[in-house]
Amino acid sequence: MQLEKEYDLVIVGSGGGSFCAALTAVSLGKRPVILEKQSVVGGSTSYSGGVWWVPNNPLLAPAGVQDSFERGYEYLSNCVSHVGPAVTPERTRAFLRAAPRMLSFLQTQGIKIRRPVDDWPDYYDDVGGGLAAGRSVLPAPFNMHELGEWESKLAMHPTMSMVPLSSDQFVTLFLIRRTWAGKLKALKLAFLMAKDKLLGHKTVCNGAAIQGQMLKAALKAKIPIFPDTPVNDFIVENGRVVGVRATHQGQPVLVLARDAVLADAGGFSRNTEMRRRLARTPINGEWSNANPGDTGEILSSMMKLGAATDLLDAAIWTMTSMAPDGTFPKGAVFGSANFPFMHHLDLSLPFSIMVDQDGRRIVNESASYQEVGEKVYDRHLKTGRALPAWVIFDARHRKRYPWGAMPPGVTPREWLDTGYMKKAESLEELARLCGIDVAGLREEVARFNRFAESGVDEDFRRGARVFDRSHGDPTVKPNPSLGPIEQAPFYAVAIHHGDVGTSGGVVTDEYARVKRRDGSVIPGLYAAGNVAASPFGRCYPGAGASISNTFAFGYIAALHSAGSKDLAEIIPSNEAKITEFAAQRRKSV
């Protein structure tokens, strides 16, 4: 397929919103094109856990779960506290109406989706509008061989792609030494891997399954997709974006857009210089598990056009760990030499806490990864002693649960020899090894152990939410999220402020149009995904929020740029504005 000089919709980047927008454009009789700078396609969605968070989605009612637009709006009003141009009632309403329609549209395109095996609660299920049953949906497992010659061109996170197990099932697998359900999950995994080998399949789940299905649908729709085609700049005529300047097969090319250009090119997680200039510090692109192409060039180009920005210091935080010399931990069963360990599930399990260098706890360790990251930064900005943070755990945590990508009870000698993991026979000795205040740690552990005994965390409410408890160990009583730190040897690991993508970028309106600093729109330019500032501010309302955001606004951009009448059902022109929205919002609990 040859790159043509003009298309209706020129899409920059190949994330989830790109494929969704392209399929939507084709359904409207338009001709889109996807330009990707890397040699592989899929963007950050391919590297993700592969989940959509969609209130009132089409799979809820058949499962007997009641939800509505109004309940979703109430929930976001209660947990999204950011006040800024990225978070508006118009964008919130557009997302809530578009996201379920977008999922239904994908189903018509052959995309297979399912609900989690077990309930996957909203991250703030304890606030008004929160849903303990959860609003997340996942892709069905996908056989990569269905892509034919494109199989090698789909981006995948190396850890996520090594086992045919979806994100919703890792919680149970982590309890392999504690519950029969965990043991059965391990047997199921072994069976699935053996089945793949017998049938000659390569089954993937998570982000690769989303983007594998989306790529297959795009190829079936004959959507032109061009990897190795970086966009260098936008073409502007009379104030309107009319195309892009790109490099294709080593040659500069102009690709014109009859209707519009949609930027879905990701954020800037991997651009350390840009992050240090625009975001909070300390920060390092090496701490990130984001897509390696997440380097921010398209965001910078839009800023040069006068695009307004918001939340540039925000990201989808996921605490990560590395060896003291800055290399990545070795010896992992399902790890990668190119990515640090991510810590969410292991940090949530009993017999562990996270402390600053004063030995004091920082946050509810079982909370969402986003909340943990925000609280750690808040503490560090106040004291300068929270980064790196330290995870402290005792012998039972190390024996019973995985750490990083290592099975329960397996501690590579290299971890101890390099100082990646500290080990000591007493908390005092451990504190000295880590440079943590000895008295502070001793007092904090004693206080925490009293909470574990009573089952009530009086400081951070760990285990109070259904979400917290869903990541705990049900064999631990009275609170599955709490366990005393009292059995030697004791362990510690320094963890850093990692992420899976930035969530600040250009400001867009409810139609996904990029806005200038004066509030006007830049004609012909739309943005979706992590290149646009999140409509959820610094909050992450549930598993898959960033992916559903990308897909929903990619869908809206395609409808709006094509002048589709279907958009009127999503954003009624006569709907009264909800001016009290900002006043109603309050900080999440």
| Both tokens assigned to 442 | 């001793």
589 or 524: which leads in pLDDT:
524
Regarding whether 247 and 133 lie in a shared domain, the answer is yes
Distances (CA, A) of 263 to 295, 424, 524: 14, 51, 11
- Confidence (pLDDT) at 503: 95
pLDDT in tens, 328-341: 776 544 444 568 88
Q: Is residue 543 part of a domain?
A: yes
Residue whose C-alpha is closest to residue 171's, from 366, 362, 335: 366
Mean pLDDT of 541-547: 97
Phi, psi of 143 (to 5 degrees): -90, 110
The CATH number assigned to the domain holding 116 equals: 3.50.50.60
Mean pLDDT of 235-253: 97
- Confidence (pLDDT) at 163: 77
- Confidence (pLDDT) at 99: 98
Query: How far apart are alpha carbons 436 and 535 in whole angstroms?
Result: 38
- Predicted confidence band of residue 253 (pLDDT cuts 50, 70, 90): very high
Lowest mean pLDDT among 222-231, 408-417, 419-428: 408-417
Regarding whether 342 and 273 lie in a shared domain, the answer is no
Q: Is residue 516 part of a domain?
A: yes
Mean pLDDT of 530-552: 97
Look up residue 568 and give its amino acid. Answer: A
- Confidence (pLDDT) at 186: 87
Q: Is residue 585 part of a domain?
A: no
Q: Give the chain's domain count.
A: 3
DSSP string covering 80-98, please? ----STT--HHHHHHHHHH
**Boundary (domain end) residue, out of 150, 181, 198:** 198
**Boundary (domain end) residue, out of 482, 497, 512:** 497
Lowest mean pLDDT among 192-201, 241-250, 555-564: 192-201
- Confidence (pLDDT) at 374: 96
Q: Are 306 and 522 in contact (CB under 8 A)?
A: yes
Whether 308 shows a pLDDT value over 70: the answer reads yes
- Confidence (pLDDT) at 117: 84
% of the chain beyond a pLDDT of 90: 81
- Predicted confidence band of residue 587 (pLDDT cuts 50, 70, 90): very low
pLDDT in tens, 13-60: 999 999 999 999 999 999 999 999 999 999 999 999 999 999 999 999
Lowest mean pLDDT among 93-102, 140-149, 276-285, 519-528: 276-285
Mean pLDDT of 377-381: 95
Q: Is residue 58 part of a domain?
A: yes
Range of the domain at 191: 164-198
CA 69 to chain centre: 23
Regarding whether 365 and 230 lie in a shared domain, the answer is no
Phi, psi of 558 (to 5 degrees): -65, -40
91's CB contacts (< 8 A; 6+ apart) are 508, 509, 510, 535
Regarding whether 399 and 378 lie in a shared domain, the answer is yes
DSSP string covering 446-496, please? HHHHHHHHHT--TTT-TT-SHHHHHTS-TTSSS-TT-----SSSEEEEEEB
- Confidence (pLDDT) at 579: 33
Q: Which of 271-285, 293-307, 334-348 has the highest average model confidence (pLDDT)?
A: 293-307
Q: Is residue 296 part of a domain?
A: yes
Regarding whether 436 and 567 lie in a shared domain, the answer is no
Mean pLDDT score across all residues of the chain:
93
Regarding whether 525 and 479 lie in a shared domain, the answer is no
Q: Is residue 60 part of a domain?
A: yes
- Confidence (pLDDT) at 576: 39
- Confidence (pLDDT) at 572: 86
Whether 584 shows a pLDDT value over 90: the answer reads no
- Predicted confidence band of residue 325 (pLDDT cuts 50, 70, 90): confident
Strand pairing category for 352-355 and 521-527: unpaired
Regarding whether 246 and 170 lie in a shared domain, the answer is no
CA atoms within 13 A on the CB side of 518: 4
Whether 78 shows a pLDDT value over 60: the answer reads yes
Query: How far apart are alpha carbons 22 and 262 in whole angstroms?
Result: 10
Q: Are 49 and 290 in contact (CB under 8 A)?
A: no
Longest dimension (CA), the chain: 71
Query: How far apart are alpha carbons 228 and 199 in whole angstroms?
Result: 33
Regarding whether 184 and 230 lie in a shared domain, the answer is no
Q: How far apart are the first and last CA of the chain?
A: 53
Name the β-bridge partners of 139.
113
- Confidence (pLDDT) at 586: 32
Mean pLDDT of 309-314: 97
- Confidence (pLDDT) at 405: 78
Q: How many CB atoms lie within 10 A of CB 237?
A: 10
pTM across the whole model: 0.94
- Confidence (pLDDT) at 583: 33
Mean pLDDT of 427-449: 98
- Predicted confidence band of residue 589 (pLDDT cuts 50, 70, 90): very low
Angle in degrees, CA 381, 339, 53, rounded to 5: 75
Query: How far apart are alpha carbons 365 and 352 in whole angstroms?
Result: 9
Phi, psi of 230 (to 5 degrees): -70, 140
- Predicted confidence band of residue 160 (pLDDT cuts 50, 70, 90): low
Regarding whether 465 and 356 lie in a shared domain, the answer is yes
Regarding whether 342 and 261 lie in a shared domain, the answer is no
Regarding whether 294 and 412 lie in a shared domain, the answer is no
The CATH number assigned to the domain holding 339 equals: 3.90.700.10
Q: Is residue 3 part of a domain?
A: no
Query: How far apart are alpha carbons 209 and 46 in whole angstroms?
Result: 8
Name the β-bridge partners of 391.
354, 493
Regarding whether 352 and 468 lie in a shared domain, the answer is yes
pLDDT in tens, 508-528: 999 999 999 999 999 999 999
Instruction: Write down the H helix ranges in 435-505.
Output: 438-454, 466-470
- Confidence (pLDDT) at 335: 44
- Confidence (pLDDT) at 161: 66
What is the Rg, in whole angstroms, of the alpha carbon atoms belonging to the chain? 23
Mean pLDDT of 550-559: 98
